[in-house]
Amino acid sequence: MRFKDYKYERPNIEKYQKQVTDLLSTIGEDVDKETEIKAIEEYIRINDELDSMATLVSIRNSLDTKDKFYQDEQDFFDENGPKLQMYDNQFSKKLIKSKNRKTLEKHFGELIFEQAELQEKTFSEEIIPDLQKENRLSTKYSKLLAGAEIEFEGKTYNLTQMGPFLQSLDRDTRHKAQLKTSAFFEENEKELDEIYDEMVKTRHNIAKTLGYENFVQLGYDRLGRTDYNAKDVKTYRDQVYNEVVPVVKKLVERKAKRIGIESPKSYDLALSFKSGNPTPKGDLKWQVNIAKNMYEEMSQETGEFFNFMLEHELLELDSKPGKAGGGYCTYIPNYKSPFIFANFNGTSHDVNVLTHEAGHAFQIYSSRDLLPSYRWPTMEAAEIHSMSMEFLAWPWIDQFFVEDTEKYKFYHLDSALSFLPYGVTVDEFQHEIYNNPTMTPDERKTTWRKTERKYLPYKDYDDDAFMEKGTFWFKQGHIFQVPFYYIDYTLAQVLAFQFFVLSQDNHEEALDKYIKLCRLGGSKSFVDLVESTGLDNPFKKGTIKSVIEPISKYLDGVDDQKL
C-alpha cells in the first residue's frame, strides 16, 4: 500500500470518549495485574488509531495548505486535541497510583511512569481553552509563512525557493534577495507580533494556571526533560560562548578571505566559496537513487528501511506552491510508517535534509515495535540520530557531490560548528522572553538583537534596517510553534560530532553504536541514552572543549583557499 492509499477517516469523538472512559474505569482500580495490563494495551491501541488519523491530516495539510478538506480536518484536530488530552492526563494519574505499579514497571519499563508524572503536572481541564488557542495561533503562523509569494527577478517564489538566491555567487543578487525576503516579514510584522504576543501571554497563563512560576519550567516539562534543567542548559550555553564562538569567529574571517570580501555582511554569510557553494550534481530523482544505493551498502538494516520508504512512497521532497515550508519526519502508527517531508531547492541542503530526516526515520523504524511513548526519544535525543546520519553518510558523499566532495565536507563541518552559536541564541532569547512575559514586541526585538550580538558578533545587517532592529527570529518557526525546542539541535550536534570523530577512526564501530542507539528509541531519558551508548554528556564542563578540538583540527588541516 502506498501513502496516497493510507485511509483517513475522521475519528468519532463520542465513540473514542466512551471507549477510553470504559478502559480508565479499569486502569488504576482494584483489579488484578493481568486485567490492568490488558486494559493499558487496549488504551494504547485506541490512541494509536487516533494518532494515525491526526498525523495523516497533519501531513496532507502541510503538503497542500490550500486543500480545504484537510484544512477543515486540521481545524477539527486543533479544536478537539486539547479536549482529548484530558484522557491522557487521567491515564497518567491512574497509572502512577496503580496498586500494581511495581508489576507494571517491570512490564512497561519505569520511564513511562516518570513521563506520566510529568504529564500530570502539565495538564488540567482548566487549560483546554488556552491549549486550543495555542493550536490555532500555531496554525495561523504556519499558514502565513506558507502563503509567502515573493516577486523576484520576474518570477514568484515562496520562502524556501528564495534559498538559492541567498547563496548566489553574485553579491548584488544575494543582497537583493535578503531585502526582498525581509520585506515579506516587514509587511507582516504587525500580524507576526500579534501572533507571538498572544502565544506568550497564553503560555504564561497556562503555566500560572498549572501552578508554575512562569512558562520556562513548564516548557521543559512539556518536552519530557526528566534529567536536566534550565541551570544545566545555561552551563552548556556558557561553554558554547567560551569555546565555540571564538572558533566560529575565525571561521567567518577565513570565509571572508576565501570569498574576497573584506567586511562581510549578513547576506554574505550563506556563501562559503568564490566558486560557489557545493551542490548535488543531479535532480531529486537522481539523489534518491544514490541514497538508495548508499543505504543498501551501509548496512542490511538501513537498506531494508530505505526500500520500505520507497516502496510505500513515504518521501515527499519537492518544493511547490501551497506546500508548507521546512522539513520534518513523522510516524503513522497504524501503518508502522515513518514519513519524510522536505522542500528541495537545488542546494547542498537537499542532501543534508535527505540524510538528516532519514536519520529520524531510521530511528523510528528501528524502534517502531516499542510502546508509543518509547518509539521516539525526547527531542534533543531524537536529533542525535538525524545529525549523526549526516556524518555517517560521508563515505558515500562523493556520489552526490562528485568534484565538490572536499568542498562539501569542509562546508558541512564548518556550517555544523557555526550553527552552535545561533542555536544557543534562539534558546537564550526564549528564556528571556518567558522569564519576562510582559515584554512589548519592541522589547523582544531589542532582546533578540542583543543576544544575537553576544553569540554572533560578526553579523552585520548592512542596510537591512528591518533585520537590524531584531526581527530575524520571525523566520524561526520553532520559537513560535515548539517553545524551547531548539537547543536540542545543538546538544545533538555535539553528540553527532562524537560519532563523526569515531567514524573517522572506525566507521563500522560508529555505525554499530548508532544502530544500538536507534533501537533504544525513547526507552531511556536523554542523559541515560547518551551515557548508555558511551557518549560524553554535553552538560558536563569540559565536554564541549574536548569535542570541538578534533573538529577544529580537521578544519585547520584543510587549505580552504583552494576550494
Scanning the structure block, which residue is given the C-alpha cell 542525535? 384
Scanning the structure block, which residue is given the C-alpha cell 532519514? 358
Distance separating alpha carbons of residues 133 and 139, to the nearest angstrom: 10
The bridge status of strand 315-316 relative to strand 337-341 is parallel
Q: How far is CA 29 from CA 19, 36, 99, 261, 386, in A?
A: 17, 8, 8, 71, 41
Tell me what pLDDT residue 380 has.
Answer: 87
Task: Determine the residue type at 523.
Answer: S
User: In which region does residue 484 sit, left (phi positive, over 0), alpha (psi from -120 to 50) or beta (all else)?
Assistant: left
Distance separating alpha carbons of residues 347 and 163, to the nearest angstrom: 8
**End-to-end CA, the chain:** 46
Distance separating alpha carbons of residues 549 and 247, to the nearest angstrom: 10
- Contacts for 292-301: CB closer than 8 Å, 24+ residues apart: 293/396, 293/399, 294/393, 294/396, 294/399, 295/358, 297/396, 298/392, 298/393, 298/396, 298/511, 299/511, 299/515, 301/362, 301/366, 301/515
List beta partners, residue 152: 155
Copy the grid coordinates of residue 137: 495561533
Mean pLDDT per block of 10 residues along the chain (563 residues) reads 97 96 95 96 97 98 95 94 88 92 94 88 92 95 94 94 92 97 98 98 98 97 92 97 97 95 94 89 96 98 98 95 91 98 91 94 97 91 95 97 96 95 98 98 98 97 98 97 94 96 95 96 94 94 95 95 90
Residue 270 DSSP one-character state: T
Residue 464 DSSP one-character state: -
Copy the grid coordinates of residue 508: 563500522
Tell me what pLDDT residue 96 has.
Answer: 92
Whether the Cβ atoms of residue 538 and residue 491 lie closer than 8 Å to each other: yes
Helix (H, G, I), strand (E, B) or coil at 265: coil
Distance separating alpha carbons of residues 196 and 188, to the nearest angstrom: 12
Whether the Cβ atoms of residue 430 and residue 215 lie closer than 8 Å to each other: no
Q: How far is CA 457 from CA 236, 416, 417, 509, 551, in A?
A: 19, 18, 15, 39, 21
Tell me what pLDDT residue 506 has.
Answer: 96
Residues 6+ apart with CB under 8 A from 459: 266, 269, 452, 453
Distance separating alpha carbons of residues 274 and 354, to the nearest angstrom: 26
